[in-house]
Structure 1
Amino acid sequence: MKKVVFLFVLVFSSSYFSQELPDNFVYLSDIDHTIKSELRYLNNNNFIGKPINGYENNCVIITKESAINLKKVQAELLKKGLSLKVFDAYRPQQAVDHFVKWAKVLKDTLMKREYYPNVDKSELFDLGYIASKSGHTRGSTIDLTIINLKTGKELDMGSPYDFFGVQSHPFYPKISKAQKENRMLLRKLMLQNNFKPYENEWWHFTLREEPFPKTYFNFPVK
């Protein structure tokens, strides 16, 4: 008697085994799976040098309105052989609290050379690099860049992500023409799709008329 073997292939959304999100939050990959991500606070490659509280998986969580608009940005980039790459989106309050606690320990300067070589750690609060509240925690702010799909490399923006210094200001003049053009490409597409820029960081944008302008969430990124 022949044995019959049935093979079932099940396809789940990226959020199938993840948490139930609050209303109006989505996993970005469920809206556009082509957008790349590298959540820096999930690993050691960030200004603290350690994983940050509240980050448990490399999944981008954001409000639905923001995700829909990012999909429009991505569609324009794909025509050019480019793609968005997300460094951070929704950020739980526990992560912000982790930043604040770290900033108060002045001797902990593990990543100073890479991320804030010209800024004294004692000045991070006064200069606005660290704060007790973050727009990310409201769910409609995103940190991102552009990559070349053929090479997989990030476009040169003239300063690294999360670099604390004037070099990260969008219109910083002492960078090359190509670096300026790369920054302006990202800025132009984000502006065209209802995001407003932050004038101290080329990578930072917030959805206009965000749905939770006064609510700070604390569920984990997983």
Structure 2
Amino acid sequence: MKIIIVLLVFVVSITSCKNNKTNAEPALKKQEEDTLVHLVDIVETQKKEKQLRSFNGLADTSFVRLADFSDDFVYDMRYATENNFLKAKVYDCAECYTRVKTAKALVEANKEFMTQGLKIKFYDCYRPNSVQFLMWKIVPNPQYVANPVKGSIHNKGGAVDITLVNFDGKELDMGTDFDFFGKRAYHDNMELPQNILDNRKLLKETMESYGFWSIRTEWWHYNLSAGSNDKIANFKWACPQENNETN
């Protein structure tokens, strides 16, 4: 806050000087404008940094909102919309929660992707077990939805459904959309164009190097190996309109 106040005083000072020099040279005016833009950038960067949290002191099994720890991810939380295979909205609002250990691994994997001009985009993260029951009610088929009695690693906060996008937000071609249930989505389907196979390989090999494993039939699904033995959870995150703190 002190830094912001100092910057604002500096801005006011520049503006005052400019008013007293109505015949100032264009170069001086340009310099003043550039300074103002730079100061605004500093303030915005500080605001962004203050919003991010640290994993320090958090238990690996705690649940956290991923966006609180990194602003380098992209989100398209499909189950908070009707744009999914259920054709139904089953989340009250779009949020991506995971266990701390899952979040740490995701942040590190994303750093590596970013060195190649890419970012992780999320379709689904932690899923409350009550939502699993709702999904089972809509589609009671274990081929598409895990039986909620047994639960899914999504219900444990150790699974994510993801793809990759470039820095402009364009998705890499993975051959199918998210939640396409058919052979074309299988990892072992080699009857696909080489660019699709390369994109899937990049996603798979990088995620595996950070402790995740995939399932054969879904190119988008990744489980954290260290999260398989965690308990099924059923907490519900607070939506913004509820004006309620979740942690």
Shorter chain as denominator, the TM-score bin is 0.7 to 0.9
Pick from 81, 87, 93 the counterpart of residue 57 of structure 1.
Answer: 93
Aligned to 1:190: 207
Query: Aligned partners of 1:158 and 1:207: how far apart in 2?
Result: 24
Deviation at 1:149?
1.2
Q: Which has the higher helix share?
A: 2
| Identical residues among aligned pairs (%) | 30
| Structure 2 spans left out of the alignment, 5+ residues | 1-7, 9-42, 54-59, 239-247
Structure 1 outlier segments of 4+, above 6 Å: none
The structural deviation recorded for 1:14 is 7.4
Larger radius of gyration: 2
Q: Secondary structure at the match of 1:182?
A: helix
Match of 1:134 in 2: 152
2:231 maps to: 215
Question: Are 1:25 and 2:63 counterparts?
Answer: yes
Q: Which has the higher contact order (CA 8 A, sep 6+)?
A: 1
**What RMSD over aligned residues (CA atoms) do the two structures have, in Å?**
2.5
Q: Equivalent residues in 2 for 1:20-99 (5 A)?
A: 24-52=62-90, 55-99=91-135
1:172-207 per-residue CA deviation (whole Å, 9 max, x = no partner) reads 122110000000100011000011111221111111
Give 1:23 deviation, angstroms: 5.9
TM-score (normalizing by structure 2): 0.69
| Alpha-carbon offset, residue 160 of structure 1 | 1.1
Give unmatched runs, 5+ long, in structure 1. 1-6, 16-21, 105-123
Instruction: Give the 3-state SS of the residue equivalent to 2:87 in structure 1.
Output: coil
Q: Which amino acid aligns with 1:34?
A: D
Output the amino acid matched with 2:229: P
In structure 1, what is the equivalent of residue 167 of structure 2? 149
Q: CA deviation at 1:219?
A: 1.5
Q: Say if 2:61 and 2:100, in contact at 8 Å, map to a contact too.
A: no
Q: Distance in 1 between matches of 2:113 and 2:191?
A: 26
Q: 2:170 corresponds to which letter in structure 1?
A: K
> The residue matched to 2:226 in structure 1 has which SS?
coil
CA contact (8 A) 1:91 1:221 kept: no
What is the CA–CA distance in structure 2 between the aligned matches of 1:71 and 1:209, rounded to whole Å? 16
Please, which moves more after superposition, 135-144 or 29-38? 29-38
Distance in 1 between residues matched to 2:213 and 2:144, nearest whole Å: 19
TM (norm. structure 1) is 0.76
1:42-80 deviation per Cα after TM superposition (whole angstroms, max 9, x unaligned): 00100111201xx22222100111111111111111111
